[in-house]
Chain A
Amino acid sequence: METNMLQANPQNWYLVLSTILFSIGVMGVLMRRNALIILMCIELMLNSVNLLLVSFSAYAGNSEGQVFVFFIMVVAAAEVAVGLALLVSIYRNLATTDIDVLSKLKW
């Protein structure tokens, strides 16, 4: 591994990449109706933010950002476990994962 690995890539590229990934996640949440796909798109958004944090941490030479990413992963794992349990429970009651059916709390 060459020593100036980071020097070759300006950090702006990571900013742009994670922005694109985040926008794709937002687009997916707006576009799809399957609740499982929406959960997956949320994971995608979390990951784009993680990538941004890691890039800032690496370019600033500071490990604290990476610890933060570690905690985000912990929260994401807990979130997915609870979300999927909710999904299974919804499916058992309504036999669908279409979010447009779940409109009782809508004003």
Chain B
Amino acid sequence: MNSQIIFFILAALSIMSALFVVFSKNPIYSVIWLIVCFFTIAGHYIMLNAQFLAIVHIIVYAGAIMVLMLFTVMLLNLNKATEPHKPLLYKVAAMVSGGLMLLVLLASMRSTELGPYAAPAYSESGFVQNVGMVLFTEFLLPFEMTSVLFIAAMIGAVVLAKKEIH
């Protein structure tokens, strides 16, 4: 019973903050609401006993990605006045198409049976020990390849953001 209440509070918070991200006029507020949304999602991970991912999520998203976003907002000097506006028609069309997509997905989900995934009594699959075991045995090669990806991304970011000298 308790976990249901926690789930509903977290779910309401994450949906609300996600809506604020989309509807805020000021980009700074969007970034801050997105941080709130990421923290509630980390709460969901803890509810699912995925402790490793909850911590990594907070470190990577709230710690690294959002700081990068905030710095970009600061660097580009974005505020309410510079925010481009779409005509109302486009906004309504976007809302309708988003809502229709939600409707279609939910309708297709209603006819889905989640047979083999009946809730386990207690899941230890998210503990650091178990995730690390899988990560460093079965998925060792992809794990090492991510460093190549990061090098590529880092070099790409530096090259793209560098001022061109003519």
Residue of B whose beta carbon sits closest to that of A21 = B18
State A32–B84 Cα separation when bound (angstroms): 8
Binary A-proximity of B131-166 (CB < 8 A = 1, otherwise 0): 101110011001000100110111011101101000
**In the docked arrangement, what's the CA distance between A27 and B103, Å?**
13
- Closest B residue to A89 by CB, please name it: B160
**Given A30-B97, A85-B161, A6–B52 Cβ distance below 8 Å?**
no
**Nearest Cβ in chain B — how far from A25, in angstroms?**
7
Proximity string of chain A (56-81) to chain B, C-beta cutoff 8 Å, 1 when within and 0 when not? 11111111111101110111111111
Chain B residue, CB-CB nearest to A28: B22
Q: Is the pair B34, A3 in contact by a Cβ cutoff of 8 Å?
A: no
Chain B residue at minimum C-beta to C-beta distance from A68: B139
Q: Are B21 and A36 in contact (CB under 8 A)?
A: no
Q: Residue B111 at the A interface, CB < 8 A?
A: no
CB contacts (< 8 Å) of B2 on chain A: these are 2, 8
Known: A31-B22, A61-B125, A82-B156. A40 touches B69 (CB 8 A): yes
Complex: how many Å from CA A79 to CA B86?
Answer: 26
Interface mask (A7-24 → B, CB under 8 Å = 1, otherwise 0): 111111111110111111
Chain A interface helix/strand/loop/mixed: helix
**In the complex, which residues 88-126 of chain B have their Cβ closer than 8 Å to any Cβ of chain A?**
90-91, 93-95, 97-99, 101-102, 105-106, 109, 114, 116-126
Measured between alpha carbons, how far is A17 from B114 in the docked complex, in Å? 16
Taking residues whose C-beta sits less than 8 angstroms from the other chain, chain B's interface range is 35 or more
Determine if A54 and B1 form an interchain contact, defined as CB atoms under 8 angstroms apart: no
Distance of A79 Cα from B152 Cα, bound (Å)? 11
A67 touches B98 (CB 8 A): no
CB atoms of B117 and A47 under 8 A apart: no
Please name all residues of chain A whose beta carbon is closer than 8 Å to the beta carbon of B119 when the two chains form the complex.
Answer: 6-7, 9-11, 59
Q: How far is the CB of A41 from chain B (nearest CB, A)?
A: 7
CA distance A65 to B135 in the complex (A): 11
For B14, B56, B109, which residue has the most chain A Cβ atoms within 10 angstroms?
A: B14
Residue pairs across A and B with Cβ atoms less than 8 A apart, 13 shown, are: A19-B109, A39-B69, A44-B18, A54-B126, A58-B49, A58-B50, A58-B123, A61-B123, A64-B134, A66-B131, A71-B139, A81-B153, A85-B161
Given contacts A17-B14, A63-B130, A77-B65, 8 further A-B contacts (CB under 8 A): A12-B114, A40-B30, A47-B38, A50-B57, A54-B50, A59-B117, A73-B60, A77-B64
